[in-house]
Structure 1
Amino acid sequence: MPVFNGGRSFFKGAPAACLILFLAACAGGQPSVPESAASPTAASTTAASVPVPSASEGAPPSSAASATKPTLGKEAQMETDRQLIRAAKANDPVQVRKLIAAGGDVNAKDDIQDSAFLYAGAEGFNEVLKLTIEAGADVKATNRYGGTALIPASEHGHVETIKILIAAGVPVDHVNKLGWTAMQEAILLNNGGPRQQEAVRLLLEAGASPDIRDPQGRTALQNAERLGFAEIAALIRNR
């Protein structure tokens, strides 16, 4: 026990820590120490126990995914769109990529109703076409003939282009202003050769109907038979 002398403790002048220990001993317990002092790693342990959400659980998207196109004024937008269509018609994927990044609209159309997407699809410019699809092209867009990109692609027998457009979701049974579907145009406006045969096969596999009649009332099968395209006629019969 401590010895007092004239009301003064022998701890006079002793460090405060000693006094705390002494008082705690008298109370029959241990000195209370703040949790953060008792465990230097407590805060870090608590933080570590908090789960970090994954991307699927709402984590902030990456800068690349969240990047947005620049906002352009009206005149600047029109000029960028014009340049984009010109680059697409020149089959220049490097320039197309740059112009899309600069804010070019892949759905903007020129005076003859061509967009970068529609023209690339019609002409089989596949690298440009993929860039426009990645940039949000309207796959249901129509050209001056009221046709989707799939119709002229089928007419020309651009087999790889047809695959890209079907995979992108272009309607396979759309009828243009001439009254033709992609399948009818593949038969009526080409020579029935191997590429046209493959075009018709791809369209059939994608669910295109050979029973939609042209303005003369003929089905795709009837047109194939009339034009002497035996291989295409067989494909349709055996679908």
Structure 2
Amino acid sequence: MTAASAAASVLDAVVANDSAALERALAAGEPVDERDDRGRTALLVAVWNDNADAAGQLIDAGADVNARDAIMDSPFLVAGAHGRVEILKLILAHGADLASTNRYGGTALIPAAEKGHPEAVQLLIAAGVDVNHVNDLGWTALLEAVILTDGGPTPQQIVRALLDAGADADIPDGNGQTALDHARANGFDAIAAMIEAHRRR
């Protein structure tokens, strides 16, 4: 069997959500990190599909949790950003590069905060991802949780988690505006109050 056909069998099994076929392919020793035409490994495809069973099979077989595709996404970054919590736990236990960044220069924590995934945020914080990392847009996770959300209960939960983890509320964006400035401007009174209380500690 050629490398190309081996790769297709692994990838096709993941795409088809065929656990038995994937098990057979991996047991036959076919390449676990072969890529599709977008540069995605089978594991990254499994993450995008939120297929925890396939992800577990691939990780157990030694899949690279940090392998990047053509647009600089990796299984770790996507699992964190999109709140694939079950898969994220597996990835964090198998060598995730906590300092890795996406094409916007952001860690997994920043989009997890912006997209409203509090459990992923907590997992990433606990793993040691830098809560004050600044991406290429000049934003931290805290800034994105204020600027790019509706300020409702989920963003409030995330803001509280970030502040409790040591997020610096005084880091400004590229225009010199802090998270508190944005919270006030957006009418997010609960978030503004949290940040003010944090600054008084």
TM-score (norm. length: structure 1): 0.67
Q: 1:125 aligns with which of 57, 72, 84?
A: 84
Q: 1:87 aligns with which of 26, 43, 46?
A: 46
> Does structure 1 conserve the Cα–Cα contact (< 8 Å) formed by 2:32 and 2:63?
no
1:140 matched to 2:99: yes
Q: Which amino acid aligns with 1:101?
A: D
- The alpha-carbon distance between structure 1 residues 76 and 202, as it changes in their structure 2 partners (threshold 3 A), is closer
> Does structure 1 conserve the Cα–Cα contact (< 8 Å) formed by 2:32 and 2:62?
no
> 2 CA distance for matches of 1:121 and 1:77?
20
1:173 matched to 2:132: yes
Deviation at 1:78, TM superposition (A): 3.4
Aligned to 2:19: none
Q: 1:99 aligns with which of 58, 67, 75?
A: 58
Q: Which amino acid aligns with 1:99?
A: L
What SS does structure 2 have at the residue aligned with 1:173? coil
The aligned length equals 168
Q: 2:122 aligns with which of 163, 166, 169?
A: 163
- The alpha-carbon distance between structure 1 residues 223 and 98, as it changes in their structure 2 partners (threshold 3 A), is same
The share of aligned pairs that are identical, in percent, is 51
What is the root-mean-square deviation of aligned Cα atoms in Å? 1.8
1:150-190 alpha-carbon deviations (Å, 9 max, x no partner)? 00011012111111010000000000000000000000001
Deviation at 1:103, TM superposition (A): 2.1
Compare CA radii of gyration and give the structure with the larger one: 1
Q: 1:113 aligns with which of 69, 72, 91?
A: 72
> 1 CA distance for matches of 2:132 and 2:172?
11
Q: 1:78 aligns with which of 29, 34, 45?
A: 34
1:223 matched to 2:179: no
Q: 2:156 aligns with which of 197, 200, 209?
A: 197
More divergent stretch after superposition (206-215 vs 77-86): 77-86
Deviation at 1:76, TM superposition (A): 5.9
Larger RCO of the pair (alpha carbons < 8 Å, separation 6+): 2
Gaps of 5+ in 2: 1-26
What SS does structure 1 have at the residue aligned with 2:34? helix
Structure 1 stretches of 4+ moved >2 Å = 75-81
TM-score (norm. length: structure 2): 0.80
